[in-house]
């Protein structure tokens, strides 16, 4: 079976976008989307990517979105992937509105297209919704909570070492850690251990944050199911919320990742987090699956 695809990236977080609104891929590919993600995301034997994004019909919203990591696990949402998805929809004229609704496993998400004078997509602002701070809903098994049952700066035993984390969900779980120097931070060692920590029953993404000032932060990320990546949109949102809760940052910041910079705002007016950043097409093609 031959399928068309588009390889896209948001701050170096790269995805393979597939249109399965007619259901042909799910009906004909043995093993389903999970095995397809492992096959296509291989950087040696496939297209290569951090995950695949599936475009689907939706009875609830304008369009449906599913995302599978390179190890075959399904994520509820992905901020960088959502910007790529929105650009794909708009530039392929699947959706011609600049603001629309997307059904995800994390609920409804609303991207807004920002265009250049030529009509090309310049950036995408995504309404990521309200952060989830209740440990039960993240989920995070936590004995010690603060600030109205929030897991803010709580100790976590990581292989015998105590690290203070702030747990936030943006539709998927995140553990945010503030460090003095990212250059000396053992991202793989800590990231892998915390991702699989028994306190996170659904595993977790892990963000390491170095504060520059109240308006800027640097971030390294270990993504659940993908390892260290150049960027994570939901992670950037979770990091900004965690920084604000810990009194380290304002509610609107520039967050610098290896792949580039995102503008993150946690608005008091609706308690929603808004993420603005770029998305780019890398190449298009047809592959036999």
HEC sequence for 140-177: CCCCCCECCCECCCEEEEECCEEEEEEEEECCCEEEEE
Q: Give the pLDDT of residue 119.
A: 82
Which pair of structure tokens corresponds to residue 37? 């993600």
The dihedral built from the CA positions of residue 143, 239, 88 and 112, taken in this order, carries a sign that is positive
pLDDT value of residue 147: 62
pTM of the predicted protein model: 0.88
Residues of the chain under the 70 pLDDT cut: 145-147
The CATH class for the domain spanning 2-129+277-288 reads alpha beta
pLDDT recorded at residue 118: 84
Q: Does 78 participate in catalysis according to the annotation?
A: yes
Beta bridge partners, 9, equal 14, 280
Same fold, 2-129+277-288 and 154-270: yes
Residues recorded for the chain: 289
Supply the pLDDT for residue 143.
77
Helices 79-91 and 233-245, packing angle to 10 deg: 130
Q: CA angle, 66 as apex, 192 and 111 as ends, to 5°?
A: 100
In the prediction, which pLDDT does 161 show? 95
**Residues 6 or more apart from 143 whose CB is under 8 A from it?**
none
Question: What's the pLDDT score for residue 149?
Answer: 85
- Set 78, 84, 142, 237: catalytic member: 78
Sign of CA dihedral 84, 87, 88, 89: positive
Instruction: Give the pLDDT of residue 29.
Output: 95
* Residue in 41, 125, 142, 232 annotated catalytic: 232
Structure token digits, residue 55: 């475009």
pLDDT computed for residue 274 by the predictor: 97
Task: Give me the residues paired with residue 166 across strands.
Answer: 176
| Pair of tokens at residue 156 | 């976590």
Say what the pLDDT of residue 253 is: 98
What backbone torsions phi and psi does residue 273 show, to the nearest 5 degrees?
Answer: -105, 130
Domain ranges across the chain:
2-129+277-288, 154-270
- Domain 154-270 matching CATH 3.30.505.10: the answer reads no
Nearest CA among 195, 193, 208 for reference residue 256: 208
φ, ψ of residue 36 to 5 degrees: the values are -65, -40
What is residue 53's predicted lDDT score, i.e. its pLDDT?
A: 98
232 is catalytic: yes
Helices (H), the chain: 24-28, 32-41, 79-91, 187-195, 233-245
Kindly tell me the burial class for residue 12, based on how many C-beta atoms sit within 10 Å of its own C-beta (0-12, 13-18, 19 or more).
middle
């Amino acid at each position: 079976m031959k399928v068309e695809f588009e390889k896209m990236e948001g701050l170096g977080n790269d995805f393979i976008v597939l249109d399965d609104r007619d259901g042909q891929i799910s009906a004909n590919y043995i093993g389903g989307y999970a095995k397809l993600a492992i096959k296509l995301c291989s950087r040696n034997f496939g297209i290569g990517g951090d995950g695949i994004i599936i475009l689907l019909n939706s009875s609830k919203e304008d369009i449906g979105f599913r995302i599978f990591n390179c190890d075959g696990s399904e994520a509820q949402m992905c901020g960088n992937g959502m910007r790529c998805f929105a650009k794909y929809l708009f530039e392929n004229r699947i959706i011609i509105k600049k603001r629309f609704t997307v059904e995800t496993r994390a609920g409804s998400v609303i991207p807004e297209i920002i265009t250049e004078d030529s009509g090309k997509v310049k950036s995408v602002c995504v309404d990521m919704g309200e952060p989830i701070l209740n440990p039960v809903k993240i989920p995070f098994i936590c004995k010690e909570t603060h600030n109205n049952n929030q897991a803010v700066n709580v100790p976590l035993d990581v292989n015998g070492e105590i690290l203070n984390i702030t747990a936030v969900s943006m539709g998927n779980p995140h553990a945010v850690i503030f460090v003095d120097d990212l250059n000396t931070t053992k991202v793989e060692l800590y990231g892998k251990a915390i991702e699989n920590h028994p306190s996170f029953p659904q595993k977790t993404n892990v963000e390491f944050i170095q504060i520059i000032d109240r308006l800027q932060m640097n971030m390294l990320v270990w993504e659940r199911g993908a390892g260290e990546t150049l960027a994570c949109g939901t992670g950037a949102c979770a990091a900004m919320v965690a920084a604000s809760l810990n009194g380290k940052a304002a509610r609107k910041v520039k967050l610098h990742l290896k792949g580039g910079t995102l503008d993150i705002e946690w608005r008091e007016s609706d308690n929603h987090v808004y993420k603005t950043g770029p998305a780019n097409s890398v190449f298009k093609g047809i592959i036999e699956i």
